[in-house]
A and B are shown apart, each in its own frame.
Chain A
C-alpha cells in the first residue's frame, strides 16, 4: 500500500491544524456560520437532519488493518459505535460533535487519512475496482494510477472551485466493477496494437437528476500522458461548465449540450498545449509509486481448488458463502473475499466498531494486511489463501458478517435516505430492510440468482437507483413517501439507465411489487443461467409492466 511521503504528511497536518483553528474560532463566535460553513464542507463535515456527519476519504477504497482499526476507534470513542460505508468507497460517521472534529482529524492523520475533498466542487476521492491488484481478469493494477490521480487532484489550486463536484473512477479489468461509465471521467485499461497498456477515457457519465452514460472521448491515452489529458478535460470543463444553474453544472450536461465532438476538439486543443510538459509522468516516478502496490509475497499453496459442491453438503451456509462471496484471484491458491455488510434486516453498509476490528484482524492475519471498501457498500479481503477460507468464514460468522449474499437480491445498495439525510425526500433504509426480510430465505435468493437492487431516497441518486437491475427511487408526494420502480439499469460495461416502469408504490407495497417482478422473471427465464437483467433485455419492459400492474 501507498505510504505518505513528506509532502502528503505536511499538507494533511497543515490542513488539520488549520481546520482545528477554524473550529475553535467558530465555537468562540469569532467566525459566523456563513463564514464557517464552506470551511467545514471543505473538510468533509456536513450538517444533516439530526447531527453533523463526517465523511472520511478512503483513497480508492483501500485500507490497511491499522487504518481500519482507527476507523473503529473513532466510531467507538467519538461516535455511536458504528460507521456507514458508502458508494464512494468512503466511510461516514453520523453523530460526531463539532468540538471533537479536530481530534478526530488528528486521529485520522496519524494513520494517513483525512476528510479533505469529500465535499465541495472539487475532484473527489478517486474510486476503483475493489479487486484491484488481485482480480484474475485484470489487465493492469489501477491503484498506482489512482494514487497518482490522488496526488495530482489533492488541493489542486486550479480545480478547487469547479462548476460542480467531479468524480473519477478507474478500472484495470475489462469487467467493470467500478461503474466507470457513470462518473464524470471513467478510465478503463486498454492495450494498443504495440502491446502498450494505456487508458480508454470516458467522459460525461453520471447519475442524479439527469442520468447519463459516459461517452468515449479517447480510446487510448498512453499512461505517461494521462495526467496531461485529464488536466485538459478539467480545463475545458472549468472554462465552459455552467455555473448559472447547479442542476446543469456537471460535465455530463456540458458534453450533452455541446456534443462530444465539440468537447473532444477543445480537449485535444488543450492537450496539444500541455502534452509533453510538466504533467508527463516520468517512468521512474511511476515505478516508485507502483512499488508501493507490488503484490504481496504470496506463499505457494498446495490447495488450489475448493470443492464448493462438497462443502455445501457439509455446511450449507459455508457453501453459500463460497458460492457467492469469493472472487477469482490472479494468484493460484488465493481468492478475494467479499465481507457482506448486508445482513437480513440490517442497514446496508453499516459496520460496528467491533466488526471493523474483526475485519482488520482478519486482514492482518489472512490478507497481507489489506482491505478494500466496495462501491456496493461491502468490504473485501483481497488476498486470502484458499486454505484459510474456512477460518475466515468462521470468524465472520462469530462477528455476524458471514452473509453469503454477494450480488444476490439482499445485497442492495441503499443511501441513508430521510432517516439521516437533509436532502432526502423519502426513507431508504427501511425499504431495504423490508425487502431483505421478504427474501431472507437462502434457497429463495439462490433461486433468483444475480439481481442488483439499488435504492435512493431522492433524485440525487446516491443509492445508484438508475443502474439497479431494479431501481427504487423514493419521492415525496402529498406529504408522504412514494416509491418509483425502475427496471433495466446496469452499472457495468453493459451500461444502461433504468426506466420508470409505472406509477409509484406506498412503502408497505414495495416488497410485494419486487416479488411480483421476481416471480415473473423466474417464470419467464430461459433456465437459471439467464439472469434478471438478461431476461429483461430479452423480453423488454412491457411484460414486466403487465406483471406488475396488470396492464400493458
Chain B
C-alpha cells in the first residue's frame, strides 16, 4: 500500500529535501519519513510548521511505494528530483550531480 512523504526545496541552496523521521529536512530520499493514510493530521501539522518556518519552499506531498525496503516515488519527476538529472553533461560524459545543502542549509521543524 502506498504511503506519502513530504518534500520541498531548501531556501538557500534550492536543494531537494525530505522530512525525516526525526523532524529534520535532509537530502536522502531514503531517510524520508513515511506517512500512512492514517497519519494525515501529523503530515499536515508538519507541513504547516515547515511553511511557517519558511526555510523549505515549494512543499509537496508525494506518493511513494516501498520496494525491497527502498522508498520509490510513484512519479518519475520525483525520482529524477531525488537522484539528479539523468542526462550526461556535455564533454566529460559525467552525470549531473544533484544539488546539495550548503553549510547554512540544515533545517529542522
Contact = CB atoms under 8 A, between A and B. Distances in A.
A33 B90 CA distance: 34
The winner among A26, A49, A350 for most chain B CB atoms within 10 A is: A49
Given A50-B84, A419-B80, A479-B75, A98 B91 contact: no
Contacts of A47: 9, 14, 57-58
Contact of A82 (B15, B54, B84, B90): B90
Contact of A346 (B12, B14, B74, B91): B91
Contact of B12 (A27, A32, A430, A479): A27
B86 interface: yes
A400 B93 CA distance: 13
Interface in B32-65: 54, 57-58
Most buried by A among B9, B11, B98: B11
A27 B96 CA distance: 27
Contacts of A476: 76
Given A82-B90, A97-B12, A350-B89, A49 B77 contact: yes
A431 to B, nearest CB: 9
Contacts of B91: 343, 346, 352, 400
A49 B86 contact: no
Q: Which of B54, B74, B88 has the most CB of A within 10 A?
A: B54
Given A97-B13, A98-B11, A418-B80, A50 B98 contact: yes
Contacts of B89: 82, 347, 350
B87 A427 contact: yes
A37 B85 CA distance: 24
Contacts of B81: 49-50
A347 B9 contact: no
A427 B96 CA distance: 14
Given A33-B57, A47-B57, A49-B81, A418 B76 contact: yes
B97 to A, nearest CB: 8
A106 interface: no
Contact of A95 (B77, B88, B99): B99
A41 to B, nearest CB: 13
A480 interface: yes
B102 interface: yes
A32 B76 contact: no
A104 interface: no
Contacts of A95: 99
B76 A49 contact: no
Contact of B14 (A33, A98, A347, A425): A98
Contacts of A98: 11-14
A424 B77 CA distance: 8
B16 interface: yes
A347 B90 CA distance: 6
B87 A430 contact: yes
A430 B99 contact: no
Contacts of B57: 33, 47
Interface of A: 26-27, 29, 32-33, 47-52, 80, 82, 95, 97-99, 343, 345-347, 350-352, 400, 418-420, 424-425, 427, 429-430, 433, 476, 479-481
- Smallest CB-CB A-B distances: 5 pairs: A419-B85, A51-B14, A429-B87, A346-B90, A51-B99
